[in-house]
A and B are shown apart, each in its own frame.
Chain A
Amino acid sequence: MTQLYTKVKLYLEANSKTYENERINIELQNDGSGDYIKSWNVSGLAKPTAEQIASYETAANTAESNATIIATRKTSYGVWQDQLDEIFTDIDAWKTRIAKVKTDNPQG
């Protein structure tokens, strides 16, 4: 089961809006019985129905899996200061290492 947040984000993007821009117009809440949309004040876009939210389950699953993979890659890449040092020392070795990180952690 994916997060309601992810499905709402995808619903907004499918309607030419972004979560970042609309964040102040949306309240997601959980009172102990699951996530729900507490308030929705997005101009020009109706609050999604339960069916519309459910239709994003597969896409949300892919998005969340990719987010996990990106986080794993980020950790494996290391901090940029160390990478600059690697590039300075042996850029080809750095490219090989980065390519392996990507191969080992493929996105869906």
Chain B
Amino acid sequence: MSYIGSKPANKPVVASDIDPTMITGQTALAVAPAATDEFLVSDAGTLKRIDYSLIGNSSYFKVAGSNVSASNDTSTELTVTSETVDSAGVVASNRFTPQVAGYYFITATVKYPSGTDIDFLGCEIFKNGSSTGAGTSIVSKDYNAISCSTIVELNGSSDYVSIFGRHTTGSTSNINLQNFFGFKLGN
């Protein structure tokens, strides 16, 4: 009883002080965490909280387009006309503009919807309107489609990705975005 009236000494909470029921006794979250749900992490020895959006694979999307009239040998931005999924509403005006910084995997397929022979068809992934250097070209015949993929770093605010198509049919021809999808890579 000698400690009655005395102030307990400061003592850090250590692992052995924590009972697993601190977690298991809580209500289970039966769905994926929301973007702003938080976790506790040890950042080089300092406890910090972090949003789920910073560690998950969101955002992710899959979209497609329709025919675009493209001039000969001219990189032409392809249009998006339908969305299968757009996890965070970050595809607009044919462009993917994620709001979380990081590295993203991007892939697309460009199609030349004609039975006419074609010498060159290109699928190009552009960042902020300029080539990322990622692209594929093909010399092919008959019904033509070509895919391209890359990993690109985006700043989570203004950086955007869009898909460009290019052909050398000699005249103005339709090409379209058969699919365009991507997701954030975990850190």
Question: Residues of A at under 8 Å CB distance from B?
Answer: 3-6, 23, 27-32, 35, 38, 64, 67-68, 71
Residue of A nearest to B76 (CB): A30
Interchain CB contact under 8 A, B73 and A30: no
B137 within 8 A of A: no
Residue of B nearest to A4 (CB): B71
Alpha-carbon gap, A67 to B75, bound state (A): 21
Q: How many residues of B contact A (CB 8 A)?
A: 16
Interchain CB contact under 8 A, A27 and B172: no
CB-CB under 8 A from A31, the residues of chain B are 77, 129
Residue of A nearest to B130 (CB): A38
Residue of B nearest to A33 (CB): B77
Select one of A3, A32, A64, A67 contacting B74, CB under 8 A: A3
CB-CB under 8 A from B71, the residues of chain A are 3-5, 28, 30, 35
CB-CB under 8 A from A71, the residues of chain B are 170-171
Residue of B nearest to A75 (CB): B116
B79 within 8 A of A: yes
Interchain CB contact under 8 A, B75 and A38: yes
Alpha-carbon gap, A23 to B120, bound state (A): 14
B70 within 8 A of A: yes
B94 within 8 A of A: yes
Alpha-carbon gap, A4 to B71, bound state (A): 8
Question: Which residues 35-90 of B have a CB within 8 angstroms of A?
Answer: 70-77, 79
